[in-house]
């Protein structure tokens, strides 16, 4: 009987010890919502797995969403129902909107003396820093729209990359290389801007245009600097027919049709995302920064995709989220992300990573987005929660698709945008 009692006591002690050990080794689950194309999805999955295997305190539970817009909508609903994740990946306007409503954590308390935020590219740092100094997000990767063109076809017509340094030069090249049939139908286009307001906005900014006045109270999108640029694009698209856009369709259909035109010799080049590089053949194509406008230097926008940590979530999970964000954005991993996806690395010190140095030496196109980011305007952060951008988007469709004169389209857009801005600025 005594032996039996001892066995019971020992068994109870052993089970208690195992339970204590299990509790000591318990990992905090850290929910993470994100979106992205095929290659970003693959690399995100890999980095999550590597982080989870590198330590024993946290386990990142990634959940892929349908789009950035879907992530943003679900995140707001999740905060209301207290089911929000510890962190999420948003675009810079979405992150800024949440910060403006006081819905996200300031990251400064999580940054110790070893965290060098100054190493992040300036245009990206500015997009996540509030006027009061709060850092409401961490840049995950950068994106900007650059030029891709057929090297052999450009040379065949006697041009060099220097001829694409201004939009006026691009128009001259496009007019020369465009091919039409006897009925005047264009068979080969000189250039294909990407559908939407982004390319038009970039070109206007490179003509010295501003979206808002310096005091933030007046919308300026119907100024002469805007109208002249947009009207030129309307002429190239509808009158000269040396350029064209694909629009509509399902999802990213228009984007891939644009890429296909250049890859299948139906157009000289197009303006597309830095993230397109993983889908392109650079034995045939080359990359270049966007052009300036006339005597003005190029200042296209460079935007960041941003990690944000919503308020009201578990504090320990928030610590784990920041640790993953730090892991994800270290110089080696931001280099890996850029090499695999084509998006812009977020740290300046990426240039010191040996693998990245070797990669860019053999793939010089990979440096073009980084070069553009160094001279770029930061993405316009819409103080009206997207209504100014929506007005520009409507105007861009009117100019690009409906062939409506730029002054008319932009004047209507400015009226709508000014009303929205006045509501925000009203005391």
Helical residues (DSSP H) of 206-263, grouped into ranges: 224-234, 253-263
Which residue in 165, 192, 160, 177 sits closest to 270, CA to CA?
192
What is the average pLDDT score of the chain?
A: 92
Q: Is pLDDT of 3 > 70? A: no
Which residue in 28, 25, 44 sits closest to 36, CA to CA?
44
Which residue in 202, 206, 67, 66 sits closest to 144, CA to CA?
202
The CB-side HSE value for 259 (13 A sphere, CA atoms) comes to 17
DSSP 88-140: EEEEHHHHHHHHHTT-B--SGGG--TT--GGGB-HHHHHHTB-TTS-B--EEE
The Cα 118–Cα 111 span in angstroms is 12
50-59, 91-100, 387-396: which has the minimum mean pLDDT? 91-100
Q: Is pLDDT of 9 > 60? A: no
* Portion of the chain with pLDDT greater than 90, in percent: 79
The CB-side HSE value for 272 (13 A sphere, CA atoms) comes to 28
**Between 229 and 131, where is the model more confident?**
229
The Cα 96–Cα 106 span in angstroms is 12
- pLDDT score, position 17: 47
Q: Is pLDDT of 16 > 60? A: no
| Banded pLDDT at 415 (limits 50, 70, 90) | very high
Quick check: 104 and 311 in contact, CB under 8 A? yes
pTM over 0.85: no
- pLDDT score, position 24: 44
The alpha-carbon radius of gyration of the chain (Å, integer) is 25
Residue partners of 174: CB distance under 8 A and separation at least 6: 189, 190, 191, 236, 242, 243, 268
DSSP 9-58: HHHHHHHHHHHHHHHHTPPEEEEEEE---HHHHHHHHHHHHHHHHH-SSE
The Cα 201–Cα 376 span in angstroms is 13
DSSP state of 280: S
Q: What is the CATH number of domain 145-301+380-425?
A: 3.40.190.10
Q: Is pLDDT of 22 > 60? A: no
- Can you name the residues that pair with 306 across neighbouring β-strands? 90, 139
| Banded pLDDT at 25 (limits 50, 70, 90) | low
* Portion of the chain with pLDDT greater than 70, in percent: 94
Quick check: 211 and 383 in contact, CB under 8 A? no
Q: At 286, is the secondary structure helix, strand, or coil?
A: strand
Q: At 144, is the secondary structure helix, strand, or coil?
A: strand
The token duo for 242 is 């040396």
The token duo for 139 is 């840049």
- pLDDT score, position 251: 79
pLDDT digits (tens, 9 = 90+) for 338-391: 999 889 999 999 999 999 999 999 999 999 998 898 888 878 888 998 899 999
The Cα 18–Cα 22 span in angstroms is 6
Domain ranges of the chain: 8-143+303-378, 145-301+380-425
pLDDT digits (tens, 9 = 90+) for 138-189: 999 998 999 999 999 999 999 999 999 999 999 999 999 999 999 989 999 9
Q: Which CATH class is domain 8-143+303-378?
A: alpha beta
Question: Which CB contacts under 8 angstroms, 24+ apart, belong to 411-414?
Answer: 411/222, 413/221, 413/222, 414/219, 414/220, 414/221, 414/222
Quick check: 164 and 288 in contact, CB under 8 A? yes
Q: Are 8-143+303-378 and 145-301+380-425 equal in CATH topology?
A: yes
Q: Is pLDDT of 409 > 70? A: yes
The Cα 204–Cα 167 span in angstroms is 11
């Amino acid at each position: 009987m005594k032996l039996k009692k001892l066995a019971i006591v020992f068994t109870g002690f052993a089970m208690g010890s195992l339970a204590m050990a299990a509790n000591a080794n318990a990992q905090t689950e850290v929910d993470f919502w994100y979106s992205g194309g095929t290659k970003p999805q693959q690399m995100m999955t890999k980095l999550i797995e590597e982080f989870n295997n590198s330590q024993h305190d946290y386990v990142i539970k990634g959940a892929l969403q349908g789009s950035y817009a879907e992530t943003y909508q679900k995140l707001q609903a999740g905060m209301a129902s207290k089911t929000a994740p510890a962190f999420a990946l948003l675009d810079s306007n979405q992150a800024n909107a949440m910060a403006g409503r006081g819905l996200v954590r300031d990251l400064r308390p999580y940054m110790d003396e070893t965290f060098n935020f100054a190493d992040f590219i300036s245009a990206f740092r500015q997009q996540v820093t509030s006027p009061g100094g709060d850092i409401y997000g961490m840049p995950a990767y950068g994106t900007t729209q650059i030029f891709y063109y057929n090297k052999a076809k450009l040379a065949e017509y006697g041009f060099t990359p220097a001829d694409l340094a201004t939009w006026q030069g691009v128009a001259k090249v496009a007019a020369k290389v465009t091919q039409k049939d006897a009925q005047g139908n264009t068979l080969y286009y000189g250039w294909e801007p990407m559908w939407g307001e982004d390319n038009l906005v970039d070109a206007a900014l490179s003509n010295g245009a501003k979206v808002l006045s310096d005091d933030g109270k007046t919308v300026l999108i119907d100024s002469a600097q805007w109208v002249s640029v947009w009207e030129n694009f309307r002429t190239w698209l509808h009158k000269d027919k040396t350029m064209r856009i694909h629009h509509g369709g399902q999802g990213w259909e228009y984007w891939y049709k644009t890429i296909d035109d250049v890859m299948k010799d139906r157009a000289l080049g197009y303006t597309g995302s830095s993230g397109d590089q993983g889908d392109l053949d650079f034995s045939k194509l080359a990359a270049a920064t966007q052009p300036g406008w006339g005597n003005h230097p190029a200042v296209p926008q460079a935007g960041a995709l941003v990690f944000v940590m919503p308020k009201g979530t578990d504090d320990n999970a928030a610590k784990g989220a920041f640790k993953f964000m730090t892991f994800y954005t270290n110089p080696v991993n931001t280099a890996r992300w850029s090499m695999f996806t084509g998006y812009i690395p977020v740290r300046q010190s990426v240039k010191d990573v040996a693998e990245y140095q070797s990669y860019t030496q053999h793939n010089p196109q990979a440096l073009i987005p980084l070069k553009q980011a160094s001279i770029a305007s930061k993405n316009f952060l819409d103080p009206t929660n997207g209504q100014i951008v929506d007005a520009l988007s409507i105007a861009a469709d009117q100019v690009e698709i409906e062939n409506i004169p730029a002054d008319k389209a932009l004047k209507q857009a400015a009226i709508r945008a000014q009303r929205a801005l006045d509501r925000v600025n009203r005391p």
